[in-house]
Chains A and B, each alone.
Chain A
Amino acid sequence: MCLGVPGQILERLDDGLAKVDFTGVRRTVSVAFTPEAEPGDWVLVHVGFALATIDEDEARATLDLLGEAIAAELEPAGNKLLQRGRG
């Protein structure tokens, strides 16, 4: 929660959102706080919001530190249901 998870922006969507890849897990994330971030850029994401742009090496280092904690962070039970709910 307090540690951001690095992800790479795949594409910008409407409404300040973007599709972000977290080492294979793809999620829709708000990039409203990092308006400068473009596809290909890495961002540090906290609870669905990008809060900083970072370079790729930094991203990989942080991913490595987080390790197995990431899967738990990104895929809590019921998430898929919620995504469906949001359409």
Chain B
Amino acid sequence: MKYVDEYRDGRAAKAIAAELRTLVRPGSHVKLMEVCGGHTHAIYRHGLDALLPGEVELVHGPGCPVCVIPLGRVDDAICLAERPEVTLASFGDMLRVPGGRRRSLLEAKARGADVRVVYSPLDALGLAVAEPEREVVFFGVGFETTAPATALTLLRARREQVRNFSVFCNHVLIGPALRAILDSPETQIDGFVGPGHVSTVIGTRPYDFVCSEYHRPVVVAGFEPTDILQAVAMLLRQLRDGRAEVENEYGRVVRAEGNPAALAALAEVFAVRPDFEWRGLGAIPRSGLRIADAFADWDAERRFEVPGARIEDPKACRCGDVLRGLAKPYECGVFGTACTPEQPLGTCMVSSEGACAAYYAYGRHRRVA
């Protein structure tokens, strides 16, 4: 049987779903968080929520890089882009994210700021080489999946002494975000479906503290329907047996030690900030990366003035509650009305990896009984 079929097989999925029902105590309530936005997307695309027993609630985590960027940092990026000498290079996803005054980079571009979309930070470095009269600033966002790319680009910029290039660093770490969720008294999560692709970089060991300190199970999962259902089954078995371990359902891609070369680049180029502001989660200790002192010349925050203001999330938008697992997207008053993928108010609707965008795209406009 072909691999794809095996992981897509409706009968296989139904067999796991039947097993899931034997793993929960009737009438109990188990809250599992899928950390990664890719998982959220796969769950609704394949309708996996409908295959879960009623006792199991899936809560969507903060693993969507665009979603967790706070308003203040978007405004900082706009401020950089508005400098006449600066060309701001960004991933396309970030352009539509509204900042503090509901203005986005796209609007800044329309008003004349030099904002360019790049696929890779290496493209941003290429821009700097091609246009030596411009100050090219790369808007670095994302978890440990994109941070190694920024790191290697900075190593190359230093090696080639590209002096008109810098990075506005907003890279974040998944481990401290999980700790913040575990420490929050309002969000009681029983177990975590661990992110698949972030774990290709960091491996499975950074989740050990979830088990040893908080006694909650973690299962790193792939993105196929049976991967996710299997991971839920593994979590439910651990909970039934009173175990809390890190298990790897995605062993065909993820290794326990991660990607050593990528981790080495991260360690060389970045330092951990004392704390970093997350949308909805507030300031989380040791959760963000800054550019290490050895690369200070390529740090946009040291080369240019950035306001660095902390801006409250808009009252109408409940992205923060969605990111903490306190609200479902359809419980937000503006979901699907004032906030749509075409005219997003909040980040969770902007990114295709966001929970609100997934609920909107796959028609989860209200609670399904």
Q: A: which residues have CB within 8 A of B?
A: 1-4, 27, 30, 32-35, 44, 46-49, 51-52, 54-55, 57-58, 60-62, 64-65, 69, 72-79, 82-83, 85-86
> How far is A82 from B36 in the complex, measured between Cα atoms in Å?
30
> How far is A3 from B38 in the complex, measured between Cα atoms in Å?
6
Given the known interface contacts A46-B145, A48-B121, A57-B4, the answer about A33 and B259 at a Cβ–Cβ threshold of 8 Å is yes
> How far is A78 from B66 in the complex, measured between Cα atoms in Å?
21
- Which residues of A sit under 8 angstroms from B117, Cβ to Cβ? 76-79
Give the residue of A34, A35, A55 whose beta carbon is less than 8 angstroms from that of B252. A55
- Which residues of A sit under 8 angstroms from B121, Cβ to Cβ? 47-48
- Which residues of A sit under 8 angstroms from B223, Cβ to Cβ? 3, 62, 65
Is B120 interfacial (CB 8 A cutoff)?
Answer: yes
Residue in B closest to A3 when the chains form the complex, CB atoms: B38
The B144-201 residues at the A interface (CB cut-off 8 A) are 145-146, 148-149, 152, 195, 197-198, 200-201
Counted as pairs of residues, one from A and one from B, with CB atoms less than 8 Å apart, the total is 143
- In the complex the two chains form, is B119's CB within 8 Å of A32's CB? no
Given the known interface contacts A32-B152, A61-B3, A82-B118, the answer about A47 and B91 at a Cβ–Cβ threshold of 8 Å is yes
| Total number of B residues with any Cβ neighbor in A under 8 Å | 55
Given the known interface contacts A3-B353, A48-B149, the answer about A61 and B253 at a Cβ–Cβ threshold of 8 Å is no
Give the residue of B93, B126, B127, B145 whose beta carbon is less than 8 angstroms from that of A51. B145
> How far is A3 from B100 in the complex, measured between Cα atoms in Å?
28
- Which residues of B sit under 8 angstroms from A69, Cβ to Cβ? 352
Q: B: which residues have CB within 8 A of A?
A: 2-4, 7-8, 36-38, 42, 45, 63-66, 91-93, 116-123, 126-127, 129-131, 141-143, 145-146, 148-149, 152, 195, 197-198, 200-201, 223-224, 252-254, 259, 261-262, 265, 351-353
> How far is A6 from B155 in the complex, measured between Cα atoms in Å?
25
- Which residues of B sit under 8 angstroms from A32, Cβ to Cβ? 152, 261
- In the complex the two chains form, is B127's CB within 8 Å of A74's CB? no
> How far is A3 from B41 in the complex, measured between Cα atoms in Å?
11
Q: Please give the distance in Å from A75's CB to the nearest CB on chain B.
A: 8
Give the residue of A2, A30, A55, A57 whose beta carbon is less than 8 angstroms from that of B146. A2
- Which residues of A sit under 8 angstroms from B351, Cβ to Cβ? 1
> How far is A85 from B65 in the complex, measured between Cα atoms in Å?
28
- In the complex the two chains form, is B224's CB within 8 Å of A65's CB? yes
Give the residue of B120, B127, B197, B265 whose beta carbon is less than 8 angstroms from that of A4. B197
Give the residue of B64, B120, B126 whose beta carbon is less than 8 angstroms from that of A2. B64
Given the known interface contacts A51-B197, A58-B253, A77-B117, the answer about A1 and B66 at a Cβ–Cβ threshold of 8 Å is yes
- Which residues of B sit under 8 angstroms from A77, Cβ to Cβ? 92, 117
> How far is A1 from B197 in the complex, measured between Cα atoms in Å?
10
Q: Which 6 A-B pairs have the closest CB atoms?
A: A48-B120, A57-B3, A85-B130, A86-B126, A76-B117, A52-B200
- In the complex the two chains form, is B142's CB within 8 Å of A2's CB? yes
- In the complex the two chains form, is A46's CB within 8 Å of B149's CB? yes
> How far is A17 from B269 in the complex, measured between Cα atoms in Å?
20
Residue in A closest to B131 when the chains form the complex, CB atoms: A85
- Which residues of A sit under 8 angstroms from B8, Cβ to Cβ? 61
- In the complex the two chains form, is B261's CB within 8 Å of A58's CB? no
- In the complex the two chains form, is A35's CB within 8 Å of B123's CB? no
- Which residues of B sit under 8 angstroms from A47, Cβ to Cβ? 91, 119-121, 142, 145-146, 149
Q: Please give the distance in Å from A43's CB to the nearest CB on chain B.
A: 11
Residue in B closest to A63 when the chains form the complex, CB atoms: B4
- In the complex the two chains form, is B129's CB within 8 Å of A85's CB? yes
Chosen A-B contacts, 17 in total, with CB atoms closer than 8 Å, are A1-B141, A1-B146, A2-B142, A2-B145, A32-B152, A33-B265, A47-B142, A49-B148, A51-B197, A51-B201, A54-B253, A55-B3, A62-B223, A65-B223, A65-B224, A76-B91, A85-B126
Give the residue of B126, B141, B262 whose beta carbon is less than 8 angstroms from that of A33. B262
